Amino acid sequence: MLNNNKKIKNMLFSFYHLVLFGTLLIVVVVLESNMSYVFAQDEKEQQQKQSSPSIILTAKLVDNQYRWTDTNSNVTNPTLNITSGVENQITIKSVKGDPEEHELIIEGISSNAVTTSATTDNEEKGEELAASDEIEDGSSTSVNFNPADTQEGNSNYQFFEYHCEYHPDTMRGKIQIIK
């Protein structure tokens, strides 16, 4: 009988260790999968930050009028493709020797401004959402813009535009939002 009790105790002891080991294994697997998920999210955020869209515009004199020129494609006053939900960096540059000042302004145009603006001249019809510092004589600066940040409150923008503070008639373009 004593021998049977010892066998039962050994079996219970072994069963206890098996349950404990199994529970510990489950905890480790769950923790590891959660850690993998967290690391994957961190990695995705890092990639988004690293791949944040960057646009470079140069202020150039074209046919005796200033224009924004896309540095990569050489297109004047291009439509800027801006990604929603990330910081888009827009860098503006001035040509060395150019004494004129330039400043990039980004505006949100609401449905109200579109329906009430009967003129096509340079009247302010939008709300300034972002502005760069001024540049001249070969200098450059950058401004970050995230369209998602503008959707707070009662903003109801139909579209976005950009222009130069000092040359708004000739240095002007549209912004297309990519979701």
- pTM to 2 decimal places: 0.65
Q: What gap in Å lies between CA 92 and CA 65, rounded to an integer? A: 17
CB under 8 A, 24+ apart: contacts of 67-75: 67/170, 67/171, 68/92, 68/104, 68/162, 68/164, 68/171, 68/173
Regions of the chain short of the pLDDT cut 50: 48, 50, 114-123
The domain spans of the chain are: 1-51, 54-178
Cα 4 to chain center, whole Å?
72
Question: What tens digit of pLDDT does each residue of 15-61 get?
Answer: 777 777 778 778 767 767 665 555 555 565 555 454 556 899 999 99
User: Distance (Å, rounded) from C-alpha 84 to C-alpha 148?
Assistant: 6
Ranges of H-type helices in 51-103? none
Q: Is 166 exposed, middle or buried (0-12, 13-18, 19+ CB in 10 A)?
A: middle
Residue 60 token pair? 């150039």
Q: Which CATH number fits domain 54-178: 2.60.40.10, 2.40.170.20, 2.60.40.420, 2.115.10.20?
A: 2.60.40.420
pLDDT at 15: 73
